[in-house]
Each structure stands twice: as C-alpha cells, then as structure tokens.
Amino acid sequence: MTAFCYGLAFLEFWVIIKTAMDEQWPIIGHDNVKKFLSGALKAGRLHHAYLFLGPAKVGKMTVAKIFAQSALCEHGEKGRPCGQCVSCKRFLQGNHPDISILSSEENTVGVELVRGLISDLSHSSLLGKARIGIIDGAHKLTTEAQNALLKTLEEPKASKIIILISENCLLSTTASRVQTVKFYLAQGSALMEFLRKEGLEHRRIQELVALASGRPGIVLEFLRNGDKIKEYRDEAQKFLSLFGETKPFNVFAFDVLGKDLERARERWRELSEIGTRVLREMLLLKLGLGDQTVYLSEMPAEKILNYSPSKLAFLINHLQTLRQQVRSNIDPRFALENFYLLIH
C-alpha cells in the first residue's frame, strides 16, 4: 500500500507522549542526532531539507516525527515539543494538517508519488508555521523521482521542510542539496537502560539486546509481539542449517532466497544480519565463552566443531564484504552461493 497519510502506530504514540513529559527526546540512543536537531530548533536555524541516513529499524522515522512535531510546535524554540499547544495536540491525534508522509510498501517509489508530495508542500501552512513532508524509504526513489525533487530542494523556503529517510546513499545531485544526518546502530547500553526502565529482568534484557543487534525498532517489536523472538530464532536456525546442507549450492540459494530479486534482497538482508550474529556466537563458543551466547544457547553446537576460530573470523569478515556487495547491487543469490561454497 502506498500512502500519503499521517498516523501514529501505538509504540510511536507511546514514545511521543513521553516526549512531552521528559526533558530530553526519549529516543533510544542517537544522542548526537538529538543534540544536533534540538540545537537547530533552539537556534531557529532549520535546514530546508534533511536526509536521515542509516540502517533499518534504528529509529529514523521516530526521530523524524518528533523533529517535525518540535519544528511545528508553538514553543519549539525549547528544542523539544511542548505537547500542549494546538499544533502538538493535532500531531498527537495523528492528523496534523501540515505534515505529509509518503511511504510505500512497493519496491520502488515513482515520480507520481513524489509529485503528489510536492503538491502538498506547495500549499500554505494551515496552522501558520511550515509544511513538512517526510519520505520514508527514500532509497527506493527512482532516478526520475529524485530528479523531480531537485527543483524543490534547489529552492529553499523557510515555510517548507523535506525529510528524506533512507538506508542507502542517494544520487549525488540529491544528496548535495540536503543536510545529511547519519544514524548508527544504538549502543547496547542505551537499549539496556531502556529495558531496565521497562522493568524487565536482567537475563531477559540481555537476550533482547543481543537479538536486536543495536536496533531499537526490533526491541520495540519484541515487546509488542513475543512471537517475533521465535521468528528470529527460526531465522538463526536456517542460517545454521547452511553448515549441514547437502543440496547443490545453486538450487539451495534459490530455495532460501526465492526467485523474485527484490524479495531475495530483503531475505538476504535479514538472513545475513542474523548470520553475522550466529557466526560471532560460534566464535564465542569455540573460545569457551558459551555463556555469552543467545541464539546458540538453545541450538545444537556440533556443527561448529570443524571450524577453527580463524576460519570463523574469516567467514564473519567475508559475510560483511558480501553484504556490502549486495548493497552495491550484486545478486543476493550469488552472494549466498559464494558464502555457501566457502563454508563447505
């Protein structure tokens, strides 16, 4: 589904409600980003276009929404939203008339959708401050769609702000016209502190932090839906099965990742990310540090017996190289075949 809509998922709503109560933005991690954006709000020096760049599920969209709320708040000069003014109330109701969000579940975001957003931004602000457009998944913008944005990006107006949210770099013509804000994986300590405040017990916190690998969005998914943890464990088991698989490798790669290329990219991203974690745990087990494992604590460990620590370290590095190559457009099934050949 593609949408020009504005609404709040339950957990976003929960996080944003707390914003009005806390002194600082209650985003998990990203201290530098919070400091930079709240500083710009306090100084009244907002850029006309931002690129929030970083891995999936680290909190880019949540930050974008709180930033938008703050920028439109009648008391936004405090660097955070007040939660009380008309603008904040409309935001918290999920129907702010000056915020447009373009998001799409399709593999690409085409020029027509971008033109629709530009048209939204061309109107005057209804509540008097500015219009803000957020494009989620900007890495899916087609070249034509990015070109359509250029004119808007080239003509800065104080009354319009565009926030592009992307997991990958954009065309240089687009990137050179926006203020890039980089997001990194959250520190484990930030996730632990958040979960401690939620009242979780220590072993449970350790498990969730290890499974989430620095992504607050995954921690929130776990809290909302206990089945998610099982999905992650199943995925880890699939990765581990690579080590005992006997099918011809090319058939295997298509079996695991599927025939549709875009879907295969998504599957590869999930599998290789969890695979990196599993390989690290295999190394820990090999080094006698099994008490620090989460995935392998509930899995048979005999599959690692034939792998030396140096071989496991090599596989971890090679998997990172393959992840980079898939991001640069090689076929993920080729990457999986390559990895499969290395472990057999």
Name the site residues for Zn ion (rule: CB under 5 A): 73, 81-82, 85, 88
Distance CA 158, CA 61 (A): 22
The least distance separating Zn ion from the CB of residue 73, rounded to whole angstroms, comes to: 3
Q: Which residues pair with 109 in a beta bridge?
A: 141
- Of 170, 70, 174, 157, residue with least CA distance to 122: 157
Q: Is the separation of the CB atoms in 57 and 183 below 8 Å?
A: no
Distance CA 245, CA 225 (A): 31
The least distance separating Zn ion from the CB of residue 162, rounded to whole angstroms, comes to: 21
CA dihedral sign of residues 250, 253, 259, 261 = negative
The least distance separating Zn ion from the CB of residue 283, rounded to whole angstroms, comes to: 49
Cβ proximity to Zn ion, 82 vs 301, nearer residue: 82
Q: Specify the DSSP class assigned to residue 97.
A: T
Cβ proximity to Zn ion, 88 vs 135, nearer residue: 88
Distance CA 306, CA 105 (A): 42
CB neighbour burial string for 198-231, b if at least 16 within 10 angstroms, e if fewer: eebeeeebbbbbbbbbbbbbbbbbbbeeeeebee
Cβ proximity to Zn ion, 97 vs 248, nearer residue: 97
Backbone angles phi, psi at 109, to 5 degrees: -115, 115
Cβ proximity to Zn ion, 35 vs 78, nearer residue: 78
CA dihedral sign of residues 327, 331, 333, 334 = negative
The DSSP bridge pattern shows strands 2-5 and 131-135 to be unpaired
The least distance separating Zn ion from the CB of residue 42, rounded to whole angstroms, comes to: 14
Cβ proximity to Zn ion, 8 vs 209, nearer residue: 8
Beta strands in the chain (DSSP E): 2-5, 49-53, 99-104, 131-135, 160-166, 179-182
The least distance separating Zn ion from the CB of residue 117, rounded to whole angstroms, comes to: 24
Cβ proximity to Zn ion, 41 vs 88, nearer residue: 88
The least distance separating Zn ion from the CB of residue 22, rounded to whole angstroms, comes to: 14
The least distance separating Zn ion from the CB of residue 77, rounded to whole angstroms, comes to: 11
The least distance separating Zn ion from the CB of residue 61, rounded to whole angstroms, comes to: 20
Cβ proximity to Zn ion, 82 vs 185, nearer residue: 82
Cβ proximity to Zn ion, 92 vs 335, nearer residue: 92
Q: How many CB atoms lie within 10 A of CB 108?
A: 14
